[in-house]
Amino acid sequence: MDRTDPRPRAEHRARRNRDADWNAWPVVDYLAENYRRLHPCDVGVIHHHSAVYRSYAPAALDRTLELGAGPNLYPLMLAGAASRRVDALEPSAANVRYLRHQLVHGADDSWQPFYALCRSLDPALPESCADALSRVRVVPGTADDLTPGRYDLASMNFVAESVTEDFDEFTALCAAFVRSVRPGGRLLASFMEQMPSYRIGTGPVWPACPVDEATLRGVFALRTTGLRIVRLAKDRTLPEYGDTGVLLLTAERPEGPAGE
């Protein structure tokens, strides 16, 4: 222990996932900061993920997962041609409410440029955003509720590194993500690079675990095959979250036992 450190000991304790009130996730401020317009980093994520979904014939995937969907609709749109059913797993009551409202009453107009980009990259997507999103079911729950092997493909965007300060918990969440797909199933993820715990608007501090490419390789190389990681430059049109960019990952769950 550093005895010269003036901070009280309690401040050193890593905040775990259960220490944050996810039901109080600030949907309106989060959307305003990140998704009310198409930012360069969204364009990068959409190009990356679209190439993966495009590699499947329409409706080739029986069931896919969006883990920690939050109020972000574009990962759900991207799955709308290849996947026959998308489970949007999300623990926060506020996010579940937002997602259900979007699915029942139609997506906010601000999502249209996102859908236009998704469809321009994947012409197999239906003409209307509502049709693409009709494959989505909102499932309240956390990564702990995942059934191993259930999905053909799992996607996770800005979740494992953005929901805990505890590295072991980050690793466990990534391992559950890997196990959620059947052997041979596909994994698709994005991570904020080197992001410390963060605020949305003027709200509370949310727990995060700074990760870089080496961290991701350390966690995923043992559990997957075909691991590929690419980096997007820091997006300076977003609020200052303290990150250094975005890391995009694709991999497969090995055909044998894995993900432990």
Ligand X SMILES: C[S@@+](CC[C@H](N)C(=O)[O-])C[C@H]1O[C@@H](n2cnc3c(N)ncnc32)[C@H](O)[C@@H]1O
Token representation of residue 212: 């870089």
Residue nearest to ligand X (CB): 70
Kindly indicate which of the ranges 2-10, 112-120, 155-163, 235-243 contains the residues binding ligand X, using the contact rule CB under 6 A.
Answer: 155-163
Residue 50 in contact with ligand X, rule: CB under 6 A:
no
Q: Where do we find the tokens 């990259």?
A: 121
Report in angstroms how near the CB of residue 163 gets to ligand X at its nearest.
4
How far is the C-alpha of 197 from the C-alpha of 217, rounded, in Å? 22
| Of 102, 162, 194, 224, the one binding ligand X by CB under 6 A | 162
| Of 41, 81, 163, 187, the one binding ligand X by CB under 6 A | 163
Please check whether residue 107 is in contact with residue 129, taking contact to mean a CB–CB distance below 8 angstroms: yes
Q: Residue 63 is which amino acid?
A: R
Token representation of residue 5: 């450190």
Token representation of residue 50: 């679209």
Report in angstroms how near the CB of residue 156 gets to ligand X at its nearest.
7
**Burial class of residue 127 in the structure, from the number of CB atoms within 10 Å of its CB (0-12 exposed, 13-18 middle, 19+ buried):** exposed
- DSSP notation for 104-115: HH---GGGHHHH
Report in angstroms how near the CB of residue 258 gets to ligand X at its nearest.
20
| Of 91, 207, 210, 245, the one binding ligand X by CB under 6 A | 91
DSSP-assigned letter for residue 15: P
Report in angstroms how near the CB of residue 222 gets to ligand X at its nearest.
21
| Of 65, 82, 159, 195, the one binding ligand X by CB under 6 A | 159
Residue 155 in contact with ligand X, rule: CB under 6 A:
no
Q: Which helix (H) or strand (E) holds 29?
A: helix 27-34
Residue 44 in contact with ligand X, rule: CB under 6 A:
no
Residue 26 in contact with ligand X, rule: CB under 6 A:
no
Binding site for ligand X (CB under 6 A): 17, 22, 25, 67-70, 72, 90-92, 95, 142-143, 157-159, 162-163
